[in-house]
Amino acid sequence: MKQRLLAAVLLAAATVAGAAPRAPQAAPAPVTRPLQGLVHVEGVRENQLVGYGLVVGLNGSGDSTQVKAAGQSVSNVLKQFGVKLPERTESKSKNVATVMVSAVFPPGYRKGQPIDVTVSSLGDAKSLRGGTLLLTPLRGADGEVYALAQGNLVVGGVSAAGASGSSVTINTPTSGRVPNGATVEREIETDFDARPEVRLSLKRPNFETATHIVEAIRQRWGPIATTRDGTSVEVAAPADPTERVAFVAALGRLPVEVGGDAPKVVFNSRTGTVVIAEGVRVRPAAVSHGALRVVISEMPQVSQPEPFSRRGDTAVVPRSDVQVEQQGAGRMFRWPPSTSLQTIVDVINATGATPDDVMAILQALDEAGAIDGELVVI
């Protein structure tokens, strides 16, 4: 019944759309954005830092004795302060948790400047709430230490458990942050002021956008910008560092017309989300979509021996009932050319179709070449 209603509604929508005269569609207005939202300046970038450390001061919610790294790490820390444990003795403390510490090194930061760090449990700790991160070196991809982290954790989650095993957890108590918890100890060199030009890397490579960037810069400062592809633009910049910084700041405020990309239909197969960009159109096509449902019912039965009988035992006998149902007659429907895909999806949703049905129909249309756009599945 549901499938027949779907076919009838779509057929009616296609008939009305085909009978009504089509008004000429106006060209969409060009989209203009500041240049700083379209490009990255090469040589001015963030760098990732990571380190291994210990969080202490936990109220019995740290790593259990099953995490061998926790006991070994505590022993190593104690050795640094002249405390030596007996041989073959492991530290067993539930107030300590092994963690991984991560941070982002912003571009241009100098020695002594603070940065935020994120602390995440590495073992089986139940909560890091109330803990303190011990001094932890943060390293870059080259293995060098660029910052030192330490401080009290701010944890947004909470966890509580009872003696019977019942527990309640809100958010994630095994991850937290230390605001301004790390101090930069080594600077990352950059060639931003060493080259005669500044290279702008497009966040979304596009030949049309790169051309518009070159044209906008030339209209403002003359023939100082060139491009060899759709991914980057080279701009001649002043040699003086102060003038170069002011020039790049002015570049970032320059309005640029964004080039048009192919309209996309994005499917999220995990959540069933369907996102359709403006401009997606459907070519003439006929679609038949049926629904097959398989129902499996478990009805276990109890088999007992006769009363006062010593023979046999009580047993549970499994019994399954499997049914296959074909819903609807799978009728075929069609729509006229240049029908808005958003209109079609709205009609399908109005009939109560599931997102899986929508994705199945649109994927089949894309395979048939009936969608003027790009299909992306994530």
- pLDDT tens for 286-316 read 666 665 555 556 566 777 777 766 666 777 6
- 329, pLDDT greater than 80: no
| Choice between 157 and 237, residue whose per-residue pLDDT is larger | 237
Chain position carrying tokens 């930069």: 184
- Residue 5 confidence (pLDDT): 41
**Could you report the per-residue pLDDT of 51-66, keeping only the tens digit for each?**
999 999 998 888 888 8
pLDDT at residue 236 tops 60: yes
pLDDT band at 135 (very low <50, low <70, confident <90, very high): very high
Residue that wins the pLDDT comparison between 186 and 318? 186
User: Distances in Å between the alpha carbon of 136 and those of 97, 100, 147, 186, 218?
Assistant: 13, 10, 9, 15, 49
- More confidently predicted of 12 and 361: 361
Report the pLDDT averaged over residues 178-207.
88
Confidence of residue 345 (pLDDT cuts 50, 70, 90): low
What is the pLDDT, as a whole number, of residue 286?
67
Residue 226 confidence (pLDDT): 92
pLDDT-based confidence at residue 70 (cuts at 50, 70, 90): confident
Calpha distance 361→16 (Å, rounded): 21
C-beta of residue 221 within 8 angstroms of C-beta of residue 204: no
Chain-wide mean pLDDT for the chain?
78
State yes or no: pLDDT of 214 exceeds 90: yes
- In this predicted structure, the answer to whether residue 78 has a pLDDT above a threshold of 60 is yes
Q: What is the pLDDT at residue 321? A: 63
State mean pLDDT over 274-287.
72
Judge whether residue 158 has pLDDT over 80.
no
* Segments making up each domain of the chain, as ranges: 2-20+264-377, 32-43+191-257, 47-184
The region of weakest confidence among 97-101, 163-167, 236-240, 259-263 is 163-167
Residue 130: left (phi > 0), alpha (psi -120 to 50), or beta? left
> What pLDDT shows up at residue 369?
75
Mean pLDDT of 145-150: 95
Contact 191, 244 (CB under 8 A): no
Among 80-84, 136-140, 166-170, the least confident range? 166-170
Label residue 164 by pLDDT band (50, 70, 90).
low
For the residues 101-116, what does the mean pLDDT come to?
Answer: 92
Mean pLDDT (whole number) for 328-335: 54
| The pLDDT of residue 14 is above 60 | no
The reported pLDDT for the residue numbered 99 is 94
Q: Which amino acid is at 78?
A: L
Q: In this structure, which CATH number among 1.20.1070, 2.60.40, 3.30.1360, 1.10.150 belongs to the domain 32-43+191-257?
A: 3.30.1360
- The stretches of the chain forming alpha helices (DSSP H) are 2-19, 68-80, 207-221, 241-253, 341-350, 355-367
The verdict on pTM exceeding 0.85 is: no
pLDDT at 327: 57
Look up residue 153 and give its two tokens: 């954790």
- Report the interhelical angle of 341-350 vs 2-19 (nearest 10°): 140
Task: Grade residue 162 by pLDDT with cuts at 50, 70 and 90.
Answer: low
Q: Does the pLDDT at position 23 exceed 60? A: no
Structure-block tokens of residue 369: 């070449």
Residue 293: predicted pLDDT: 53
354 by DSSP, 3-state: which? Answer: coil
How large is the average pLDDT for residues 217-229? 91
How far is the C-alpha of 368 from the C-alpha of 246, rounded, in Å?
53
> What's the confidence (pLDDT) of residue 152?
94
How many whole angstroms separate alpha carbon 213 and alpha carbon 206?
11
